Amino acid sequence: MDLHLSKAEPTTVERDTIDAAFGALTHPTSREDRPTRSHHAGHDARAQRHLLLPVLHAVHDAVGWISEGALNHVARTLSVPPAEIYGVATFYAMFAVEPRAPRVVHVCDDVACGPYGGEEIVTALTEALGPEGGSAGGGEQACWVRSPCLGLCERAPAVLHQRTAQPDLSQAPARPDEVLAAARTDEPAAAAALADQADAAFADTRVSAPQTGRGAHLPGGGPLRLLRRVGVVDPESLDDYRAHGGYAALRRAVDLGPTRVITELEDSSLTGRGGAAFPTGVKWKGVAGAPERPHYLVCNADESEPGTFKDRVLMEGDPFALIEAMTIAGYVTGARTGYLYIRGEYPLATRRLEHAIGAARARGFLGDDVMGEGFGFDIELRRGAGAYICGEETALLESIEGFRGEPRNKPPFPSVVGLFGKPTAINNVETLYNVLGVLDQGGQAFAEIGGGRSTGTKLFCVSGAVGTPGVYEVEFGATLRELLDLAGGVRGDLRTVLLGGAAGGFVMPEDLDVALTLEGARDIGATLGSGVVLVFDRHADLTGTLRRIAAFFRDESCGQCVPCRVGTVRQEEALARLERDTPIGSRETEIALLDDLARVMRDASICGLGQTAPAAVASALQLGLLDRPHGSRNGKVPSA
C-alpha cells in the first residue's frame, strides 16, 4: 500500500515503545487465527491491526500523549493509512493527540459523584491548576478534566489519575486536598507509594460489597453465590482461590462435556446480566455448533453505564473466578482464544486480572493443554480507553479488531459473524460468574431460585441517598423495598429511584414493592438493565440530573447515525434550557420536543445507545418529574 505520511517522525522513546509493544504482543499463530479484513498487498502487516489499541496504550502510557510522529510509525508498521490510525486514537477519551500535562486528573461529575463532592473537587482544582484541560502558570505539571462515571459510585466522589510512565490510580472517596497532593506528586518513589496506598484503600472490599465476609448470606438466609469469595479469598493467590472451591466448576464441565454443559445452562434458564437478558445456553449452543472455524470468546467487562460498578467489585475481589468461567466458556463453545475487554478506568481490576491470567497460565490452567485435559484455551486482555459505546457488543468487536468502536448492523449476529468475521460468544462479567454457580449446583437447582426468565441471584449497584451504598446480591424476586432496607434505608424523604441506569427509567415510592425480576420491572414500565439502583431524596435536582444524563449520551454517541448523533445533542440542549428556566416558546413546547426526539431515537438509531438515550428523560416526562420540585406534581422547576 502506498502510504501518504507527513514528515513527522517519532522520538526515540516513541519508536522503541511502539516496536517493543508490537514485538511483545505478536503471536506465532496470529496469521492463522486472526484474519485481516483486507487481502491486498501488506496483508501480513495489517493482520496485526488487532494490536492497535494496546500499542496506542503503550505509547500513551510512556509519553503521556500520542504524537503525529508516533501515529506515522504505527501506520507504517501496520501498513494502514495514517488517517485511520488517527481516527482510532481520537475516538477514545483517555487518549490525547496534543501535548498535555504529564499528570491528568479525571474528576467524576456524573449523577452519583457530582452532587456528593465531585463539584467541590472541580472547584478546588480550578483554583489550584487553572481551567479544565490546561495548567496554571508557573510550570504546573498537572491538569484536570471532567469525567463521566468512573464506576466508583459507592465511594463517591471519585477521581482517576493518569500519570505518564507510571501506573494509573483511582481515589475514592476523594478529598480536594488529597487529589491535589496526588496530582502534584513528582518523585517516582512517592508516586509508587501513593499507588500502593490507593490499592490498599480498596483492600477492604466490604466497603464496596457490605454483605461480604466470612459467614455472609443472602437476605433470605441462603449462602451468597456471586459474592461468596469476595472479601474472603486473597485475590492475588491462586492457591487460596482453589482452597475455596476454585476450578471445581471447570473440572465438572470437563467431566460433563460441552453438550451436557449446554443442557445444564438451558435447564437453568440463565439469561445475560448485561441488560439484554438473552439466554446463555442458546448463545453458547449456537456458537458451539457453528461449522466455521475458529470460534472466539469475548468477555465484556467494559461496564460504563453511570451508576454501575458490580463487575468491578467482582473482578477486584475474585479475579480468578472470571478466568475460570471464561475457560469453561471457551471449552464449551470450541474457542481457543478469549478476549477480556475491560474498561480503561479500572486500574486495580486490570492489574489483578493481568496477575490472575499470568498465574493461571503458569500453573497449566490456561495454555495449549488446560489441566492436561487435551484442549487449549488462552486469554488476551484488552484495555478500553474511555468509550461507553464499546459496551455495545459489535462496537466492542470493532475496538478489539483495531477500528473505531462503531456498532455494526445486525443481523448477522456475533454468534454467526463476530470477531474477525468468525462465530463469537460474547458474555457480560456477571453472566460468566453465574455459569460457575450453574455447574456447582446444577441447572435445575439454579432454576428453582426466582422463576420464569428470572432465575438465580442478581447483583444490584445501590448508590445515592442510601445509608450504605454498595453492591448487593439478592435472589430474583426480592422487592425494591427489601433491597433498599438491605442498603441501610433511604437517607431523607424518598423522591424517586432511577432503576436500570442512565438507559433505564424512574420508579416512584408507590412502586417499592415491585418484585425485582425481568417480568416485575416490565409490569411497571421499567427495566433492571445493568442493575443500577440510584436513589434520590426530596432535595435532589432531577432536572439537572437529567441534563447530565443527556450530556453523557451526547458525549458518548459514536456519531455514526443521524438520529443518535443529532438527537442526543438536541435532547441535551432542551434540558439545559429547562434547567435554566429559559425555554424557547414555552415549557410545553420544549417537553413536546423532547417527546418527539425520544420517539425518533428509539425508532431509528442503529444500536442500543441511541435507542435508550432518551429512556430516563421519557420516564421522567411520563411521571411528571420535570414539573415537580420537591415531589409536588403541580410545581414548576426552579431556575438553575
pLDDT > 90: percent of the chain = 83
- pLDDT grade for 216, boundaries at 50, 70 and 90: confident
Q: Is the pLDDT of residue 566 over 90?
A: yes
99-113, 197-211, 341-355, 575-589: least confident range:
197-211
Q: Is the pLDDT of residue 415 over 60?
A: yes
Q: What is the pLDDT of residue 35?
A: 57
Q: What is the pLDDT of residue 632?
A: 33
279 forms beta bridges with: 271
Contact 303, 149 (CB under 8 A): no
CA distance 224 to 310: 15
- pLDDT grade for 507, boundaries at 50, 70 and 90: very high
Cα angle, residue 515 at apex, residues 510 and 521 outer, rounded to 5°: 80
196-205, 429-438, 505-514, 518-527: least confident range:
196-205
Closest CA to 225 of 325, 101, 347: 325
- What is the mean predicted confidence (pLDDT) over 464-485? 96
461 forms beta bridges with: 471, 532
pLDDT tens for each residue of 427-443: 999 999 999 999 999 99
316 CB contacts (<8 Å, ≥6 apart)? 202, 205, 208, 235, 348, 349, 352
* Backbone torsions φ then ψ of 302, nearest 5 degrees: -100, 50
Q: Is the pLDDT of residue 30 over 60?
A: no
pLDDT tens for each residue of 296-350: 999 999 999 999 999 999 999 999 999 999 999 999 999 999 999 999 999 999 9
State the pTM of this model: 0.93
pLDDT > 70: percent of the chain = 92
Q: What is the pLDDT of residue 42?
A: 61
Secondary structure letter of residue 465 according to DSSP: S
Q: Is the pLDDT of residue 1 over 60?
A: no
> Average pLDDT, whole number, for the chain?
91
Q: Is the pLDDT of residue 226 over 90?
A: yes
Q: Is the pLDDT of residue 631 over 90?
A: no
* Backbone torsions φ then ψ of 147, nearest 5 degrees: -135, 145
- What is the mean predicted confidence (pLDDT) over 21-27? 86
Q: What is the pLDDT of residue 29?
A: 41
Cα end-to-end span (Å), the chain: 56
pLDDT tens for each residue of 33-83: 555 554 444 667 778 999 999 999 999 999 999 999 999 999 999 999 999
Q: What is the pLDDT of residue 206?
A: 76
Please report the domains of the chain, with CATH numbers, ordered by start residue. 12-89 (no CATH), 103-201 (3.40.30), 238-448 (3.40.50.11540), 451-537 (3.10.20.600), 542-631 (1.20.1440.230)
Q: What is the pLDDT of residue 46?
A: 78
CA distance 632 to 498: 18
Q: What is the pLDDT of residue 191?
A: 66
- What is the mean predicted confidence (pLDDT) over 441-454? 93
191-200, 303-312, 449-458, 615-624: least confident range:
191-200
- What is the mean predicted confidence (pLDDT) over 95-112? 95
385 CB contacts (<8 Å, ≥6 apart)? 53, 56, 57, 92, 93, 94, 95, 344
